[in-house]
Amino acid sequence: MAQITYYANFGEIPFGDITKKETRRWIPDAFDVLCGGFPCQPFSIAGVTKKNSMGRMHGFEDEKQGNLFFYIAEIIERHRPKAIFLENVKNLLSHNRGNTFKIIKEILTNLGYSFHYRILDGKYFVPQHRERVFMVGFDSEVFHYGEEFSFPDMPVKDLKVKDILMEDVDTKYTLSDQLWRYLQEYANKHKANGNGFGFGIADLEGITRTMSARYYKDGSEILIAQKYRNPRRLTPRECALLQGYPDEFIIPVSDTQAYRQFGNSVVVPLIEAIGKCIVNAIKRNFE
């Protein structure tokens, strides 16, 4: 479904699953920058908690999702891009007592790449608290560890949730009485147990919580208060704006699929800002 959205906006269809040999054969022999965001669920706090409760493996031991990084490393080793740009959840740094991140760093440095990383928050570009760890590396055979790279400075902006909200919203996005009652009871139960789990009514004059890929289920982490009605979810268009997509971005899929895709997405203007720093570092090396 994400391929459908990509094609609608850019006129190209991504090759698909890089774990398959037939997909990897389509990768060009030479390219300048590899960008990758391997699945975050095996490393996220929520993902680890859920997998533990189900008796399932997480991190690299999650065979389906956790091992995708090693396919990325294989592509890097084979094609030697000038630079690499990776992204994941902040919890990657502390997962398995820091050993997961240590392995990632060791693999990339052993491949002959420098290693820069920083936790950055999307809230400086959009009205959403969204911390992610970004990893950038440069081929030592080209830059000899002398690249002039630094992560971008965060802009100072007065961002507010109300600025991305639509005026006329279909009532289908309003929570049903049953769902709203369930969310309140769920929050009260966890509050009584001393936990902070529960729904979140967004401060329209501030920023939201982090939107997740599970937003399609109930929208509980970001709800918009309404007069004389139950709270409502964000619309898919509002989710797009909350991630920094332009107004003209085409959403050709169902609401459920759109929520999944935008919940899994990066904050676009933050990625653009880091990308410019990478490109400038490459250009300076060849001036």
Which residues belong to the active site? 40
E-state strands within the chain:
33-36, 83-89, 116-121, 131-138, 224-226, 229-232
**Which run of H or of E encompasses 241?**
helix 236-242
Cβ(82)–Cβ(136) under 8 Å? Answer: no
Q: From CA 150, how far away is CA 73, in angstroms rounded? A: 23
Residue (of 25, 55, 57) closest to 43 by Cα position: 57
Residue 115's contacts (CB-CB under 8 Å, 6 or more residues apart) are: 105, 108, 109, 135, 136, 137
Q: At what angle do helices 99-110 and 68-79 cross, to 10 degrees?
A: 10
- Paired tokens of 160: 């507010």
Residue 168's contacts (CB-CB under 8 Å, 6 or more residues apart) are: none
